């Protein structure tokens, strides 16, 4: 069965066994009573994807200038990275964006507030807390945003897009 939403593409719906509930994220190895075998493969989160996503969250939540040398454990070599101010390709470009961030803000801190994953795609909702170095130094700032990610089978980020309002 499919449903057509005005302004959206047709979306395939999958029938589930009577009484079956559809969790937001199905993790490989989780109890599923045969539900996973009835669902398309992109609903199953491979352990490598789950581990890669957790590695990325930990990197951002513990981000320091010293951590920038570890981007290679989270990102594929030629990953495109885009946010409202920057568009780069590769780990070095990402490293330069964050190195610059550390020169213009004090006490930057990311807090991931929500994680959604499906197949090899994920979305992270986050808060970025900081203080400007040259403007209203004593006023704490917070930007709320989100990141859309595509990961490869090894859990490395293949595409990173940040979204936020200023």
Segment 73-128, tens digit of pLDDT: 999 999 999 999 999 999 999 999 999 999 999 999 999 999 999 999 999 999 99
| DSSP-derived pairing of the beta strands 121-132 and 141-151 | antiparallel
Instruction: Provide the pLDDT confidence category of residue 166 given band limits of 50, 70 and 90.
Output: low
Q: Which two tokens stand for residue 78?
A: 């030629």
What is the model's pLDDT at position 145? 97
Could you give the count of Cα atoms lying within 13 Å of 110 in the half-sphere of its Cβ? 21
Tell me if residue 143 falls in helix, strand or coil.
strand
**% the chain with pLDDT above 90:** 66
d(CA 146, CA 127): 8
pLDDT, position 3: 40
Q: What is the mean pLDDT of the chain?
A: 81
**pLDDT tops 50 at residue 11:** no
**Predicted local distance difference test score (pLDDT) of residue 157:** 98
User: Is pTM beyond 0.85 here?
Assistant: no
Please tell me the predicted confidence (pLDDT) of residue 4: 41
Q: Distance between the two ends of the chain, CA-based, in angstroms?
A: 41
- Decide if pLDDT at 14 tops 60: no
Q: Does domain 46-164 have CATH number 3.10.450.50?
A: yes
Q: Break the chain into its structural domains and give their ranges.
A: 1-44, 46-164
User: Cα separations (Å) of 139 from 108, 133, 134?
Assistant: 13, 10, 11
Q: What gap in Å lies between CA 116 and CA 53, rounded to an integer? A: 10
Neighbours of 112 (CB within 10 A): 17
């Amino acid at each position: 069965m499919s449903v057509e939403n005005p302004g959206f593409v047709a979306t395939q719906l999958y029938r589930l066994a009577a009484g079956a509930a559809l969790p937001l994220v199905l993790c490989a190895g989780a109890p599923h009573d045969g539900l996973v075998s009835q669902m398309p493969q992109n609903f199953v989160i491979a352990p490598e994807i789950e581990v890669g996503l957790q590695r990325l969250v930990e990197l951002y939540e513990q981000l320091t200038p010293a951590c920038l040398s570890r981007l290679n454990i989270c990102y594929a070599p030629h990953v495109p990275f885009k946010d409202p101010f920057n568009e780069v390709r590769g780990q070095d470009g990402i490293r330069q964006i964050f190195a610059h961030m550390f020169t213009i803000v004090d006490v930057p801190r990311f807090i991931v507030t929500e994680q959604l994953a499906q197949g090899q795609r994920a979305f992270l909702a986050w808060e970025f807390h900081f203080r400007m170095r040259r403007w209203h130094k004593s006023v704490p700032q917070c930007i709320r945003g989100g990141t859309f990610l595509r990961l490869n089978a090894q859990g490395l980020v293949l595409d990173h897009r940040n979204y936020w309002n200023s």
